[in-house]
Structure 1
Amino acid sequence: MPHSDDLLWGAVGDISRFAALLTMAELGLADHLADGPLDTAELAGRAGAHAPSLRRVLRELAAMGVVKVAGPDAYDLTEKGMALRSDAPGSVRSSIRMLGEESFWYAMGTLPATVRDGSSAFVKRYGHLYGHLAANPGPSSLFDDYMTARAIPFTEGLAKRYRFPAGATMVDVAGGKGHILATVLHANPHMRGILFDLEHVADHARRTLADEGLSDRAEVVAGDFFAGVPAGGDVYLLASVLHNWDDEDALKILGNVRDAMNPDGRVLVLEVVLPDSEEPHLGKDIDMRMLAIFNGGTERSHDEYAALLGRAGLALTEVVELGSGANLIEAVRR
């Protein structure tokens, strides 16, 4: 077990290491190094960077093992660094860029102020996240790419480990660009789907579903889940939705879903569920971002989800482990 001082000083150093990774991701260094090693001057020219400054970042990145020295003042990618290439399966580039985006960086840096008064400093400056994204195409594009990359292991787990009813219609509530719905429909060729999300997201979803050859089995409906959701579905998926909202808002969303679904319908809540123990867990890390970015957004434990669903007139029936820290919670009408 590391000494507590090692853990604390390690956390202090993490901000410097993340800043180096952010620089690598923003400048596309992994893409520039994809075909082999480059000296610092050549790499700086391709990335539009100041060579002496870049040299110092490369030194840190080499210490982290994402690049390696490949000659006098030259660097090459390591196997670990390949994950920062834009074309790498499961690339982490978009995730790093999103978490380092100006407004997100501000949110995490002002977490102490948020904790002091219980109100998100991010919201005070930028408004609600989704309104901020709707008004700012740059951060919105980064966020969409980040959510798509983050959802890949969850989505694969959902398609492989959950048995959907034959011939069911699934409504993907706040389904984003449609990658989750597309994966489920490909894995279940007799199902149909409806993707429901805000107007500024809907066109992206239509393009995704068309590109996936699913336009004849899926439709996209624009709207606000606080006002209502499409009726008549057999399965309603809420993937990374409820953790953005406090209990009262989450109950409004769940209530609208319960009212809209068929009598024997199912609600599927895909979230990272907090453990009851004090062990390190992905959900606890994400919860710090929820605290910083939303007023009321929170990760929840199994018991807290069961209680929330119960208040919405739903009964938790099954929990499926999806891998990568995510769970699928199934609920039906009580």
Structure 2
Amino acid sequence: MTYSDDLLWGAVGDLSRFAALLTMAELGLADHLASGPLSTDELAERAGAHAPALRRVLRELAAMDLLRPVAPDVHELTEKGGALRSDATDSVRASIRMLGEEGFWYALGMLPATVRDGGSAFAKRYGHLYDYLAKNPTSSRLFDDYMKRRAIPLTQGLVQRYTFPPTATMVDVAGGKGHILATVLHANPEMRGILVDLEHVTAHATATLAAEGLSDRAEVVAGDFFAGVPGGGDVYLLASVLHNWDDDDAVKILRNVREAMNPGGRVLVLEVVLPDDTVPHLGKDLDLRMLAIFNGGAERSRDEYAALFAQAGLALGEVVELGSGASLIEAVPS
């Protein structure tokens, strides 16, 4: 059997393995096993599961080295499986649950239909992702948990690898609940911040910044970045924003930022940058999710970001690798 055959059949098997991972994440099996080994019956009782069905999933999870049998029908959590614990520093539980969420699962399963006609099957059924989340509170909480977990290594990379102007005002555009802004302000005690997002998000951001003791250094503003963004900023951060929109909309957002910034200001775009090669890369996986979920959303290459900046009166500056597949792309007035 050739390598390509192994790769193809491996991809087929990955669907079943992901289903087992999703079951482990949804049922919280790693949390239940955190204190020690359990029999299948004990684990099923704690997880609210059907023991005979669970036993079959545990067999697959053990083959994936996420669990280890220590006695007949008794399993313990392995070091690798510990990454599915809710309290793990590098927990992937939220990411797995998000990918298995009903709408996301539908989107990826309908990718062939999306590719046939060029329009997202998800968008046709559910509308824009953020409208879908607004109508589905459970999915919205899951998405928030996923985004918060995903942001942790990126935010740490941001404050460790990029030098901010020490007394700058940073405007976090579509800053969500404020976790990135809070991290930047803690790392730069003379900076001030403004977070702008839709009105239904601002109360959460205000609460986060207050809990972080930053109410005196950070302002929260309700707004729509297609209509405009707060002026007077020295640094404008767009974290995981542009990849949600097609080129025309992305340029409109960037133009609004360009018009609002102080002279000598800069734009920081936190996104995955696609490489110009055929090597496997996180961005290529994420780009297919963007294709499946958004009409026009996409991950982009360095040259594609440079082209967007040029249309908005900006020029590509420094590109800083942040780890976890993401980069910080700096743009300055052209």
Structure 1 and Structure 2 fold alike (TM over 0.5): yes
Instruction: Classify the secondary structure of the residue corresponding to 2:119.
Output: coil
Instruction: Identify the residue that residue 42 of structure 1 maps to in structure 2.
Output: 42
Judging changes above 3 Å, is the alpha-carbon distance between structure 1 residues 328 and 43 closer, same or farther for their aligned structure 2 residues? same
C-alpha separation in 2, matches of 1:16 and 1:141: 26
* Deviation at residue 218 of structure 1 after TM alignment: 1.1
User: What residue identity is the alignment partner of 1:90?
Assistant: D
Given residue 217 of structure 2, which amino acid in structure 1 is its aligned partner? R
In structure 2, the gaps of 5 or more residues are none
Tell me the equivalent position of 1:115: 115
2:70 corresponds to which residue? 70
Q: Deviations over 1:20-65 (max 9, x none)?
A: 0100111111111111011010110111000000001111001001
**Residue of structure 1 in register with 2:244 after alignment:** 244
Counterpart-to-counterpart distance in 2, 1:116 and 1:269: 31
The aligned residue for residue 137 of structure 2 is 137
| AA matched with 1:35 | S
The residue that corresponds to 1:304 in the other structure is: 304
CA distance in 1, matches of 2:307, 2:189: 34
Is residue 315–residue 332 contact of structure 1 (8 Å, CA) maintained in 2? yes
Match of 1:182 in 2: 182
The residue number in structure 1 matching 2:264 is: 264
In the aligned structure 2, how far is the partner of 1:27 from the partner of 1:227? 43
State the TM-score, normalized to the length of structure 1: 0.98
Partner of 1:197: 197
Equivalences for 1:1-334 in 2 at 5 Å? 3-334=3-334
The aligned amino acid for 2:103 is: S
Query: Structure 1 residues 220-229 or 93-102, which shifts more?
Result: 220-229
Q: Name the aligned partner's letter for residue 139 of structure 2.
A: P
Unpaired segments ≥5 residues, structure 1: none
The question of whether the paired residues in 2 share the 8 Å contact of 1:234 and 1:265 is answered with yes
Change (3 A) 1:183 1:2: farther
Q: Secondary structure at the match of 1:175?
A: coil
Q: CA deviation at 1:2?
A: 6.6
What's the secondary structure of 2:122's corresponding residue? helix
SS of 2:225's equivalent in the other structure is: coil
Q: How far is 1:251 from its partner?
A: 0.6
Aligned partner of residue 237 in structure 1, secondary structure: strand
Cα offsets for 1:145-182 (capped at 9, x unmatched): 11111111111110011110111111111111211111
Distance in 1 (CA, whole Å) between partners of 2:217 and 2:266 is 20
State the 4+ residue runs in structure 1 displaced beyond 3 angstroms.
Answer: none
Q: C-alpha separation between the residues in 2 aligned to 1:290 and 1:104?
A: 10
- Give the paired residue count: 334
- Offset of residue 331 of structure 1: 0.8
User: Match of 1:177, as an amino acid?
Assistant: K
Q: Match of 1:111, as an amino acid?
A: L
Q: Give the aligned residue type for 1:267.
A: V
The answer to which of 88-97 and 203-212 deviates more is 203-212
In structure 2, distance between residues paired with 1:319 and 1:182 = 23
Deviation at 1:200, TM superposition (A): 2.1
Separation (CA, whole Å) in 1 of partners of 2:28 and 2:219: 36
Percent identity, please.
Answer: 79
For residues 178 and 67 of structure 2, the distance between their equivalents in structure 1, rounded to whole angstroms, comes to 34
The superposition leaves residues 46-105 of structure 1 with CA deviations (integer Å, 9 ceiling, x where unpaired) of 110000000011110010011111212111110111111111112111111011000000
Q: Determine the C-alpha separation between the residues in 1 that align with 2:203 and 2:333.
A: 32
C-alpha distance in structure 1 between counterparts of 2:256 and 2:296, whole Å: 19
**What is the Cα-based RMSD across aligned positions, in Å?**
1.1
